[in-house]
């Protein structure tokens, strides 16, 4: 667009329009103030397109050189903050193209040959999201490493394992943390799968039907790194689908939602564990806040907010999926509404992962190279809580099974023993041998090994179990997988 045409555009779209847009409609329809964050992807996409147009003889080499020069200038303007984003120019694409044309004239006007904003925006969002997924993958690795480090320090710390939030059986605190490592490793796998479908090229679909110019879409895909593991270009194969598909955004937000759900479950545990009634862990003061009225309070704001922000991300998933449900093929302006939920999902997830890595694992002190200020664990409180809940009752039943009792009978016998222990307000291991023998004569003094928390832990020495030996093996596996 020439300056003259640009000025005209701020009045009305083209000669076809008899009146300009009202200010309200301009504001309502424009996206530039949020989609300008796609500017790098927009420039990369344009450069790959221009390079291919020149290679195919659709534009001249001189035009390509002018476009490259103009884009270099424009890039600097954006980086240094001198670029003037204009609401009148609606979105990031028109803003960049108009400025390019101001800078290089007709060559800028040739850039849009064989292209539409419909395939352009789909390409930009995919390129941008691909980069963000790579950052998220790295953050997921950091969080897993932080959890593995804390797990390793606490392999032998005993936590009451809960079912129904009732004390169930003793577990290693390290084992408990590794459960979250499993969740985040699946999140990481999911992100990688989503990335492979994000990394496909819509450009070349033009408005909806393809284009009459002899484009080389594979070449553009290769230039943009939209290739599979074997290096083959990944190009959207149906022009109508290429411009209208937002599955990739929905899939990403679904994967992000699930990751936030894992964070939220961990948050809920942290909140519980930090309450005075549990007193199992502390997080560093910088992740907590005080109360304006109750001076004794240290509230776990960060985990609570993460739990709250999970609702927000799941809301974005609902928003995006609903955005698509009524749209006929192909592109509709509805699709402009994909950006804010997607951007906010990415921002929320990245910040949350970062803050959790630091809150769990601490920060590296550059002087010592050691991490400091992660969660601190009150091993004694955990162990005391496990002792209060008859966590080794199953072990007594298993002991009786080894002595020949059928499991159901053993279960019933132990129920009587627990009832007696409750009446005396002691743990099973504190009942005298003679009393225990009153429930079953085959009980010998070796029963106290089985009844101890540590004995119970060590006994669960099967793959995936909580015995410290198993937990150490899992830590080694995770370290090898994470390169840590
Ligand atoms: N800003 C638009 C979006 O985000 C770009 C595509 C506009 N295409 C159109 N035909 N109006 O989707």
Calculate how far, in angstroms, residue 336's C-alpha sits from the geometric centre of ligand 1: 6
Please identify which residue in the block is written with the tokens 């990335």.
195
Catalytic site residue 112? no
Is 346:132 a contact under the CB 8 Å cutoff?
yes
Crossing angle of helices 339-361 and 247-274, rounded to 10°: 30
**What CATH number should be reported for the domain holding residue 465?**
1.10.40.30
Residue 46 tokens read as 């344009």
343 plus 412 within the same structural domain: no
Does 378 fall in a domain?
no
Pocket test for ligand 1, best of 125, 334, 335, 342 (most atoms within 8 A of CB): 335
- Give the orientation angle of helix 247-274 with respect to helix 117-153, to 10 degrees: 30
Report the nearest-CA residue for atom 12 of ligand 1: 336
User: Which candidate, 78, 172, 140, places its Cα nearest to that of 458?
Assistant: 172
| In a shared domain, residues 203 and 337 | yes
270 with 347, same domain: the answer is yes
- 49 Cα–ligand 1 center, Å: 18
CA distance 245 to 178: 37
CA–CA distance, 125 with 343 (Å, rounded to integer): 10
Q: Give the pLDDT confidence score for residue 339 in this predicted structure.
A: 98
Provide DSSP, 381-420. HHHHHHHHTTTTHHHHHHHHHHTT--HHHHHHHHHHHHHH
DSSP string across 172-222: EHHHHHHHHHHHHHHHHHHHHHHHHHHS-B-TTSTTTT--SS---HHHHHH
Please answer whether residues 47 and 64 qualify as being in contact, where contact means their C-beta atoms are separated by less than 8 angstroms.
no
User: Which domain-ending residue is among 52, 87, 113?
Assistant: 113
Residue 34 belongs to a domain: yes
Nearest-CA residue for ligand 1 atom 3 is: 336
Q: Which residues pair with 172 in a beta bridge?
A: 158
pLDDT of residue 5: 53
Place of tokens 């303007």: 77
Candidates 10, 60, 291, 376; catalytic one: 291
State yes or no: is 154 an active-site residue. no
Instruction: Choose among 357, 134, 355: nearest CA to 252.
Output: 134
- Would 483 be classed as within a structural domain? no
152 alpha carbon – ligand 1 mean position (Å): 51
Tell me, what CATH number does 46's domain have? 1.10.275.10
- Domain presence at residue 380: no
Residues 36 and 94 in one domain: yes
pLDDT for the residue numbered 10: 55
Is residue 484 one of the residues assigned to a domain? no
Ligand 1 center to residue 117 CA distance, Å? 6
Measured in Å, residue 333 CA sits from the centre of ligand 1 at 6
pLDDT tens, per residue, the chain with 484 residues: 455 555 545 566 788 888 888 999 999 999 999 999 999 999 999 999 999 999 999 999 999 999 999 999 999 999 999 999 999 999 999 999 999 999 999 999 999 999 999 999 999 999 999 999 999 999 999 999 999 999 999 999 999 999 999 999 999 999 999 999 999 999 999 999 999 999 999 999 999 999 999 999 999 999 999 999 999 999 999 999 999 999 999 999 999 999 999 999 999 999 999 999 999 999 998 888 887 878 777 899 999 999 999 999 999 999 999 999 999 999 999 999 999 999 999 999 999 999 999 999 999 999 998 889 999 999 999 999 998 889 999 999 999 999 999 999 999 999 999 999 999 999 999 999 999 999 999 999 999 999 999 999 999 999 999 999 999 999 999 999 999 8
Pull the structure tokens for residue 420.
Answer: 């007696």
Same domain, 256 and 333: yes
State whether 62 and 128 are in the same domain: no
Going from the Cα of 72 to the center of ligand 1, the distance in angstroms, rounded, reads 24
Is residue 114 within 8 Å of 211, Cβ to Cβ? yes
DSSP-assigned letter for residue 289: B
In the set 164, 212, 292, 445, the catalytic residue is 164
Which domain, by its residues, includes 193?
A: 119-372
Same domain, 319 and 253: yes
**In total, how many domains does the chain have?**
3
Last residue of a domain, one of 113, 147, 174: 113
175: domain CATH number is 1.20.200.10
Query: Does the residue 379 lie in any domain?
Result: no
Whether 410 and 359 map to the same domain: the answer is no
Indicate if 107 and 136 belong to the same structural domain.
no
Q: Supply 28's token pair.
A: 């309502």
What does the CA dihedral 136, 142, 143, 144 come to, rounded to 10 degrees? 110
Kindly state whether residues 95 and 124 are assigned to the same domain.
no
14 with 153, same domain: the answer is no
Of 336, 341, 342, which is best to mutate to test ligand 1, by the most ligand atoms within 8 angstroms of its C-beta?
336
Residue 384 in domain: no
Residue nearest to atom 7 of ligand 1 (CA): 117
Q: Which of 53, 88, 113 is the last residue of a domain?
A: 113
What is the residue with the minimal CA distance to atom 10 of ligand 1? 118
Lining residues, ligand 1, CB within 6 Å: 31, 35, 91, 117-118, 121, 331, 333, 335-336
pLDDT at 1: 47
Looking at the fold, whether 128 and 97 belong to one and the same domain comes out as no
| 381 belongs to a structural domain | no
């Amino acid at each position: 667009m020439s300056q003259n045409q640009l000025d005209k555009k701020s009045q009305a779209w083209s000669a076809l329009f008899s009146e300009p847009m009202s200010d309200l409609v301009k504001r309502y329809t424009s996206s530039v103030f949020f989609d300008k964050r796609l500017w790098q992807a927009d420039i990369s996409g344009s450069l790959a397109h221009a390079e291919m147009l020149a290679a195919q003889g659709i534009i001249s080499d001189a035009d390509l050189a002018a476009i490259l020069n103009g884009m270099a200038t424009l890039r600097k303007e954006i980086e240094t903050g001198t670029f003037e984003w204009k609401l009148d120019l609606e979105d990031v694409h028109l803003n960049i193209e108009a400025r390019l044309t101001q800078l290089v004239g007709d060559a800028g006007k040739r850039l849009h040959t064989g292209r539409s904003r419909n395939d352009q925006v789909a390409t930009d969002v995919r390129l941008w999201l691909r980069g963000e997924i790579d950052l998220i993958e790295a953050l997921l690795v950091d969080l897993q490493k932080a959890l593995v480090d804390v797990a390793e320090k606490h392999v032998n710390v005993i936590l009451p394992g809960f079912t129904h939030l009732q004390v169930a059986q003793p577990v290693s605190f390290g084992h408990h943390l590794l459960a979250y490592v499993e969740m985040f490793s699946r999140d990481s796998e999911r992100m990688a799968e989503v990335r492979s479908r994000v990394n496909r090229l819509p450009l070349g679909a033009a408005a909806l039907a393809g284009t009459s110019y002899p484009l080389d879409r594979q070449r553009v895909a290769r230039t943009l790194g939209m290739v599979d593991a074997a290096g083959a270009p990944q190009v959207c194969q149906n022009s109508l689908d290429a411009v209208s598909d937002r599955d990739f955004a929905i899939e990403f937000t679904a994967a992000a939602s699930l990751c936030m759900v894992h964070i939220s479950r961990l948050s809920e545990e942290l909140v519980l564990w930090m309450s005075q009634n549990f007193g199992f862990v502390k997080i560093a003061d910088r992740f907590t806040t005080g109360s304006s009225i109750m001076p004794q309070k240290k509230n776990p704001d960060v985990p609570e907010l993460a739990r709250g922000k999970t609702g927000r991300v799941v809301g974005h998933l609902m928003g995006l999926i609903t955005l698509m449900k009524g749209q006929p093929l192909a592109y509709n302006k509805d699709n402009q509404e994909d950006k804010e939920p997607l951007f906010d999902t990415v921002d929320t997830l990245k910040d949350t992962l970062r803050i959790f890595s630091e809150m769990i694992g601490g920060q590296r002190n550059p002087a010592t190279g050691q991490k400091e200020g992660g969660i601190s664990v009150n091993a004694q409180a955990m162990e005391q809580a496990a002792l209060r809940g008859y966590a080794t009752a199953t072990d007594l039943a298993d002991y009786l099974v080894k002595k020949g009792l059928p499991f159901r009978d053993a279960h019933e016998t132990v129920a009587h023993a627990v009832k007696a222990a409750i009446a005396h307000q002691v743990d099973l291991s504190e009942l005298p041998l003679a009393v225990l023998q009153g429930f079953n004569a085959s009980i010998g003094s070796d029963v106290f090994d089985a009844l101890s928390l540590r004995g119970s832990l060590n006994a669960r020495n099967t793959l995936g179990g909580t015995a410290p030996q198993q937990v150490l093996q899992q830590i080694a596996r995770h370290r090898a997988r994470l390169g840590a």
